[in-house]
């Protein structure tokens, strides 16, 4: 490191500034060298990474399209997924569906008025009205009650793929070669 001497004069302070300047310039120089090497590595790998990313995107789209077309035969015994040798695929509903207006006709102001008409202040935040307590609405009202007030739960499912990363490397290489 450097010595831990106390600066005791203007001359010593100026020498310390000179050492600080030298250390700062060395740090900046080494950082620039490192950044140049990183940039060279990024440039060298960019085409392969881009190609792999494109292949992944195409395969994911093809798998999702296949699943969508064959959903009825793939989803057995009420399961919305299928376990295959190299991974699991399926449909997943959100764990916390969003509460949203039923359609364009309903605004949050109109929804608030309807909720107030039916249940007074039960579904409004306390002590600071007039904000709707959407969590309480979602927890306590049925779908029909929500609809009557111009709301619905957004439960759109999303497709997912979970790769089996424990597959033996030689099996994966065989699968890639077969493609």
Confidence (pLDDT) at 27: 98
Query: When comparing pLDDT for 84 and 5, which is higher?
Result: 84
* pLDDT tens profile 126-150: 766 668 888 889 889 998 999 998 9
Work out the mean pLDDT of the chain and round it to a whole number: 89
Tokens of 103: 């359609």
The whole-number average pLDDT for the span 71-97 is 90
Q: Does residue 110 register a pLDDT over 60?
A: yes
Confidence (pLDDT) at 40: 98
Confidence (pLDDT) at 20: 97
Give Cβ neighbours of residue 113 (< 8 Å, ≥ 6 apart). Answer: none
Confidence (pLDDT) at 167: 63
Indicate the pTM of the whole model: 0.59
Question: Among 17-26, 46-55, 123-132, where is mean pLDDT lowest?
Answer: 123-132
Render the burial of 33-70: b for 16+ CB within 10 Å, e for the rest: eeeeeeeeeeeeeeeeeeeeeeeeeeeeeeebeebeee
Tokens of 91: 């449909």
Question: Among 15-29, 64-78, 85-99, where is mean pLDDT lowest?
Answer: 85-99
Q: What sign has the CA pseudo-torsion 79, 93, 65, 160?
A: negative
């Amino acid at each position: 490191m450097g010595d831990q001497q106390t600066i005791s004069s203007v001359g010593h302070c100026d020498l310390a500034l000179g050492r600080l300047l030298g250390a700062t310039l060395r740090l900046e120089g080494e950082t620039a060298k490192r950044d140049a090497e990183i940039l060279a590595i990024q440039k060298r790998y960019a085409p392969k990474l881009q190609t792999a990313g494109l292949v992944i995107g195409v395969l994911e789209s093809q798998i999702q399209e296949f699943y969508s077309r064959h959903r009825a035969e793939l989803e057995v015994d009420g399961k919305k997924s299928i376990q295959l040798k190299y991974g699991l695929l399926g449909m997943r509903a959100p764990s916390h569906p969003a509460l949203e207006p039923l359609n364009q006709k309903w605004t949050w102001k109109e929804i608030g008025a309807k909720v107030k008409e039916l249940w007074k202040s039960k579904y409004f935040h306390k002590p600071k009205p007039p904000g709707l307590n959407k969590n309480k609405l979602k927890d306590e009202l049925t779908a029909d009650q929500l609809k009557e007030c111009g709301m619905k739960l957004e439960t759109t499912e999303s497709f997912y793929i979970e790769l089996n990363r424990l597959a033996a490397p030689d099996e994966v290489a065989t699968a890639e070669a077969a493609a």
